[in-house]
């Protein structure tokens, strides 16, 4: 089962942008922060209590200030703690990610450039990318133009540099989406090629625009050329992830897009995002669409559902499929499922109405399981009714099995039901012999 490149790009960009900027984009609404969303300095937090004038309050204030200053971490110490937290695959853990963001909050605005210099000197590319993005996002909250200038002048070329600019655009757009739009338009053809061009900024930019004014977002969309439009649409759907009314607004406008291919891609992208958060609602929406439009939507939705609930995803894909399309769809489902859980996939396949329509699925099952369990794969190959597919699947299983146990593989092949010419062809790794020439 396949998912479109634009969907993969959109979801990947959404995750990366959120990882780098979510903490700071939402931070401005947290009580105790200043008007720009930046936290108070470490020194200020140590002085929250009142001062009693009758008890040498001035001296206590000075003492408290010195005490807080002594406890404040240096930029190098903060980044060292971040690096320690980020070791290995720990950033896949939300708790570790939030620890890093908490440490980020200890960096004062006046120390941002020094922190960026430290981050740029890191040798681990993942740590360097994440910290650079976070630092630039924090800077962009209070001074987007300067932060973007720094990103353009100091960040490395290629994906890392573009990710840095995207993090700036994400935080900057929260404060001034129009300024980011003007910056984007001013980029012209610079760095616009491929997934990692400046078009990445459109996700966060259009998320902010659509969050406030969907009509304006679609007006801006008319000024963008493909494939950048898919990035912008991904951002619009991001703005509607938790807002049913806004999602319906955006979908109505998507349905009015003149290009059929773009409408289809946009709907698939929206569905892929929606399925991760509210699968039941997304399924109901799919079932209400005209049947001729459901096929691609079901495939996109099925891909997402099968990651967490393969049986539910398979049911959605297969529901209502015309008989002549069932072999292909069964094969897609099993190819995806068997790679994740061969036992569950095999059980489900055995529960389906048996017949030739499952032959392609059985062949897919053999392909997915031969390397880890060639004996079982050989058994499955024998259940295929189509002679050509059975020969091909048997060869796949045998070639893997003989690497582990040649004698057992030869014994199973001899009792596989293939004729002698076919057996010899499988052993030699050759194509199936022509029956007319094989028969005496």
> pLDDT digits over 210-238, tens only?
988 999 999 999 998 877 888 888 889 88
Confidence of residue 118 (pLDDT cuts 50, 70, 90): confident
Q: Find tokens 């593989």 and name the residue.
A: 409
User: Among 376, 394, 333, 340, which Cα is nearest to 358's?
Assistant: 333
> What was the pLDDT predicted at 190?
61
Of the given ranges (63-67, 132-136, 194-198), which has the lowest mean pLDDT? Answer: 63-67
Report whether 330 contacts 360 (CB < 8 A): yes
> What was the pLDDT predicted at 354?
93
Report whether 71 contacts 92 (CB < 8 A): no
| pLDDT exceeds cutoff 90 at 423 | yes
| pLDDT exceeds cutoff 80 at 255 | yes
Confidence of residue 160 (pLDDT cuts 50, 70, 90): low
pLDDT digits (tens, 9 = 90+) for 337-381: 999 999 999 999 999 999 999 999 999 999 999 999 999 999 999
| pLDDT exceeds cutoff 50 at 79 | yes
Q: Half-sphere exposure (CA, 13 Å, Cβ side) for 352?
A: 26
Q: In angstroms, rounded to a whole number, what is the distance separating the alpha carbons of residues 32 and 36?
A: 11
User: Among 391, 396, 361, which Cα is nearest to 377's?
Assistant: 396
Of the given ranges (313-322, 325-334, 351-360), which has the lowest mean pLDDT? Answer: 313-322
pLDDT digits (tens, 9 = 90+) for 133-145: 888 889 998 999 9
Instruction: Identify which of 6-15, 86-95, 179-188 has the greatest average pLDDT.
Output: 179-188
Q: In angstroms, rounded to a whole number, what is the distance separating the alpha carbons of residues 256 and 263?
A: 8
Greatest alpha-carbon span in the chain: 116
Instruction: Identify which of 7-16, 33-42, 153-162 has the greatest average pLDDT.
Output: 153-162
Tokens matching residue 119: 């981050």
| pLDDT exceeds cutoff 50 at 440 | no
Higher pLDDT, 157 or 150: 150
- In this structure, the number of other CB atoms found within 10 A of the CB of residue 181 comes to 21
Name the percent of the chain lying above pLDDT 70.
77
Average pLDDT, rounded, for the chain: 78
Report whether 391 contacts 398 (CB < 8 A): no
> What was the pLDDT predicted at 90?
59
């Amino acid at each position: 089962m396949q998912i479109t490149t634009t969907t993969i790009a959109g979801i990947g960009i959404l995750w990366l942008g959120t990882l780098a900027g979510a903490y700071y984009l939402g931070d401005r609404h947290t009580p105790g922060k200043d008007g720009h969303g930046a936290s108070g300095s470490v020194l200020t937090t140590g002085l929250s209590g009142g001062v009693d004038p009758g008890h040498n309050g001035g001296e206590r204030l000075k003492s408290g200030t010195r005490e807080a200053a002594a406890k404040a971490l240096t930029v190098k110490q903060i980044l060292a703690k971040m690096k320690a937290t980020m070791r290995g695959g720990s950033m896949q853990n939300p708790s570790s990610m939030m620890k890093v963001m908490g440490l980020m909050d200890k960096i004062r605005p006046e120390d941002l450039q020094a922190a960026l210099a430290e981050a740029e000197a890191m040798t681990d590319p993942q740590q360097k990318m994440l910290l650079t993005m976070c630092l630039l996002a924090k800077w962009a909250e209070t001074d987007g133009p300067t932060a973007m200038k720094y990103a353009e002048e100091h960040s490395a070329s290629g994906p890392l540099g573009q990710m840095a600019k995207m993090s700036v655009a994400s935080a900057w757009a929260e404060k001034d989406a129009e300024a980011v739009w003007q910056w984007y338009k001013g980029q012209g053809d610079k760095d616009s090629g491929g997934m990692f061009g400046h078009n990445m900024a459109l996700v966060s930019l259009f998320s902010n625009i659509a969050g406030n004014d969907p009509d304006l977002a679609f007006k801006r969309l008319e000024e963008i050329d493909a494939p950048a439009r898919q990035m912008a649409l991904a951002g619009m759907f991001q703005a509607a992830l938790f807002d049913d009314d806004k999602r319906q607004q955006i979908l109505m406008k998507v349905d009015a897009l003149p290009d059929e291919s773009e409408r289809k891609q946009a709907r698939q992208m929206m569905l892929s995002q929606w399925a991760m958060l509210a699968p039941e609602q997304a399924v109901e929406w799919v079932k209400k669409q005209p049947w001729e439009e459901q096929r691609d939507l079901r495939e996109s939705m099925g891909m997402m559902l099968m990651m967490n609930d393969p049986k539910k995803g398979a049911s959605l894909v297969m529901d209502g499929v015309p008989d002549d399309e069932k072999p292909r769809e069964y094969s897609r489902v099993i190819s995806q499922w068997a790679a994740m859980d061969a036992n569950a996939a095999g059980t489900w396949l055995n529960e389906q109405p048996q017949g030739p329509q499952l032959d392609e699925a059985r062949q897919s099952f053999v392909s997915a399981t031969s390397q880890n369990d060639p004996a079982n794969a050989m058994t499955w190959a024998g259940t295929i009714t189509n002679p050509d597919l059975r020969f091909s699947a048997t060869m796949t299983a045998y070639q893997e099995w003989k690497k582990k146990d040649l004698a057992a593989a030869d014994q199973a092949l001899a009792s596989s039901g293939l004729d002698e010419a076919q057996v010899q062809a499988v052993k030699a790794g050759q194509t199936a012999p022509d029956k007319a020439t094989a028969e005496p």
